[in-house]
Chain A
Amino acid sequence: VTVDGLLTPRQTLFAAVTTTLAMLFIIDLVRRRRLAEEYSWLWLLTGAAMILLVASDRLLLALGALIGAATPIITLLIFAVLFLFAIAVHYSLIISRLSEQVKALAQELAIMSTRGEAGRDRGSAS
């Protein structure tokens, strides 16, 4: 393994700092209850995986060889994109479920609104 095959110190520093800051930001959002715990785990998992990749030259090289990436920074980038893809799909699923629930609630409310109306009609008629 040549030195060219590793992340440069500058790359390592930048990747470690940005990943750590991003994780701290997510944790702070969860701490202040702005982000629900159940929706934060995938972010934290992603952050942890990125830190692992940055910290371990061997892992990064092995993964790079596996996917045929030219340099470790490409490996890092590709995995970052994959993680973001997973997070985006995760949120799409959550949004789909939420909108299904909102739809069902709105329909319930609409159906109940006819009942209230019928009750008023009966009340006024008697």
Chain B
Amino acid sequence: VAAPAVKPLVVIPAYNEAARIGRVLAGVRAADPSLAILVVDDGSRDDTAAVARRAGARVARLPFNNGAGVAAQTGYKYALREGYGCVVQLDADGQHEPADIPLLLAVVARGEADVAIGSRFMGAARYRPSRPRRAGMAIFRVLTYLLTGSRLSDVTSGFRALGADVVRFFATEWYPRDYADADVLITARRAGFTIREVAVRMYPRTGGRSMHAGLTPVYYVFKMLLSVALTPLRRGAAVRKGR
């Protein structure tokens, strides 16, 4: 993998992940020690910010909990202000393999696509979610195909690299506050951005609380269906790419 010409920023949104984020940060360092890392602490009540700072990451601390979408977008806004050319985003809970970051970065840095998604279902990637979760993923995979014509295997993946234009596009107000996966991919695709999938490794959570626990999957599916259903009704977003 050739060294990317653009300066990348690793964005890690984190909420109460003090127990797991240290290992993720060590993994990112091991993958490429030159990478700048921004942990966005989404108003955690534990030591997430302190642990991340001790591990050498920059930390942007939101004063209260806002939701995963807001936390990620904080990272995009920071990247824009500080002049980073692209963003790699991964979860703070250790589900995404930091060693795969260069694979995603390379796609965006070489200009092969505006968005690189880490897919847990491609190639050697081995991951089997629970049956209801697989069903939910399938629904959004089909909807994404119907609305964009893109065959993506893992539309709910939060492991991704974004080129500068996409970062700018995602830093505007329409970006959802809570869940931002299939709906923002569809919006980006419809706005003319290209998306490429890359096989990555993903692991089940090792303790802690998933974003999708209790009744939240019901809300997730409802909210995501609503967001997805609204994408074709919105025309404004489609013209933004040229800016």
Contacts and interface: CB of A to CB of B under 8 A. Distances in A.
B177 A117 contact: no
Interface string B58-84: 111111101000100110011001000
Interface in A84-107: 99-100, 103, 106-107
Contacts of B59: 113-114, 117
Nearest to B65: A106
Interface residues of B, number: 20
Interface centre among A99, A100, A109, A110 (most CB of B within 10 A): A110
A29 to B, nearest CB: 28
Contacts of A3: none
B40 interface: yes
A106 B41 CA distance: 11
Interface of A: 99-100, 103, 106-107, 109-111, 113-114, 117-118
6 contacts: A106-B62, A106-B63, A106-B70, A106-B74, A111-B78, A114-B78
B62 A114 contact: no
Nearest to A105: B63
Contacts of A100: 173
A110 B64 contact: no
Question: Which 10 A-B pairs rank lowest in CB-CB distance, beginning with the nearest?
Answer: A110-B60, A107-B74, A110-B62, A114-B60, A113-B61, A106-B62, A110-B74, A111-B78, A114-B58, A103-B70
